[in-house]
Chain A
Amino acid sequence: MTAGRTRGGARRAAWLPLAPVLTLYAIQFVVPMALVAVTSFRRHESAGQMGGFTTDNFTKILQDPYYLGMLGRSLLLAGETAVLTAVLGYPIAYALARGPRWLKVVLLVVVMVPLMTSSVVRSFGWMVLFARDGLFSTLAGPLGDGPAGLMYTSTGVLVATAHVLLPFMVLTLYGVLDRLNPTLVHASMNLGASRTGTFFRITLPLSMNGVVAGMLLVFATATSAFVTPQLIGGTRYRVAATEIYEQSINLLNWPLASAMAVLLVAIALLTMAVYTRLSRDTGGSGATGIIG
Chain B
Amino acid sequence: MAELELVGLSKRYGRDLVLDDVSLSVQEGELVTVLGQSGSGKTTMLRSIAGFVTPSGGDILVHGRSVLNAPINQRGIGIVFQNYALFPHLTVRQNVGYGLRVRRLPRHEIRERVDRELERVLLSAYADRKPAQLSGGQQQRVAVARALVLRPRIVLFDEPFSNLDAMLRESLRRELRDLQKRLRFTAMFVTHDQREAMALADRVAVMRGGRLVQMGAPTDVYERPAHRAIAELLGRANLLDCQTAAGEDGRALLRWHGHTLRTDDDLGAAGDGACVLLRPEHVAVRPGAPDAPAPNQLGGVLSSVEYHGPSRLAVISEPGGGTLLADLRSGPADPYLAPGDPVTASWPSAAVRVIDA
The chain A residues found within 8 Å of chain B, CB to CB, are: 181, 183-184, 186-194, 197, 201-202, 205-206
Once A193-B73, A206-B88 are accepted as A-B contacts, the answer to whether A183 and B81 lie under 8 Å apart by CB is: yes
Structural contact, A190 and B83, CB atoms closer than 8 A: no
Q: How large is the interface on B (under 10, 10 to 19, 20 to 34, 35 or more residues)?
A: 20 to 34
B85 and A187 form a contact (CB under 8 A): yes
Q: How near does chain A come to B247, taking the closest CB pair, in angstroms?
A: 59
**Given A183-B83, A186-B72, A193-B102 contact (CB < 8 Å):** yes
Q: A186-B72, A190-B50, A191-B99 are in contact. Are A206 and B85 (CB under 8 A)?
A: no
- Kindly list 10 other residue pairs between chains A and B, CB separation below 8 angstroms, not including A186-B81, A192-B74, A194-B73: A181-B83, A181-B85, A184-B85, A184-B87, A186-B50, A187-B87, A189-B73, A190-B72, A190-B79, A192-B150
B185 interface residue (CB < 8 Å to A)? no
Contact A190 B73 (CB under 8 A): yes
Q: In the assembled complex, which residues on chain A have CB atoms less than 8 Å from the CB atom of B83? A: 181, 183
**Is B89 positioned at the interface, with any CB of A under 8 Å from its CB?**
yes
CA distance A192 to B150 in the complex (A): 10
Q: Check if B146 is an interface residue, CB within 8 A of chain A.
A: yes
Chain B interface residues toward A at CB < 8 A: 50-52, 71-75, 77-79, 81, 83, 85-89, 98-99, 102-103, 146-147, 150
A284 shortest CB reach to chain B, Å: 14
Q: Is the CB of A190 within 8 A of B88?
A: no
Question: What is the CB-to-nearest-CB distance from A125 to chain B, in angstroms, rounded to a whole number?
Answer: 41
Q: Check B50 against A206 for contact (C-beta < 8 Å).
A: no
Is the pair B103, A192 in contact by a Cβ cutoff of 8 Å?
yes
| A192 and B87 contact, CB distance less than 8 A | no
State the Cβ distance, B185 to closest chain A Cβ, in Å. Answer: 15
Closest-by-CB residue of B relative to A191 is B99
Q: List 29 A-B contacts (CB under 8 A).
A: A183-B81, A184-B85, A186-B50, A186-B52, A186-B81, A187-B79, A187-B81, A188-B87, A188-B98, A189-B72, A189-B73, A190-B50, A190-B75, A190-B77, A190-B79, A191-B73, A191-B98, A191-B146, A191-B150, A192-B73, A192-B74, A192-B103, A192-B150, A193-B73, A193-B102, A201-B98, A202-B87, A206-B87, A206-B89
Nearest residue (CB) in B for A206 is B89
Q: In the docked arrangement, what's the CA distance between A205 and B72, Å? A: 22
Smallest Cβ-Cβ distance to B72: which chain A residue: A189
User: Which 10 A-B residue pairings sit nearest by Cβ, starting from the closest?
Assistant: A191-B99, A187-B85, A189-B72, A183-B85, A193-B102, A192-B102, A189-B73, A192-B73, A192-B99, A190-B79
Question: Are B73 and A186 closer than 8 Å at their CB atoms?
Answer: no
The CB with the most chain B CB atoms within 10 A, among A192, A197, A206, is that of A192
Q: How far is the CB of A226 from chain B (nearest CB, A)?
A: 39
Contacts of B72 in A (CB 8 A): 186, 189-190
Q: Whole-angstrom distance between the alpha carbons of A140 and B122 in the complex?
A: 66
Which residues of chain B are near A189, meaning CB under 8 Å? 71-73
Q: How far is the CB of A232 from chain B (nearest CB, A)?
A: 40
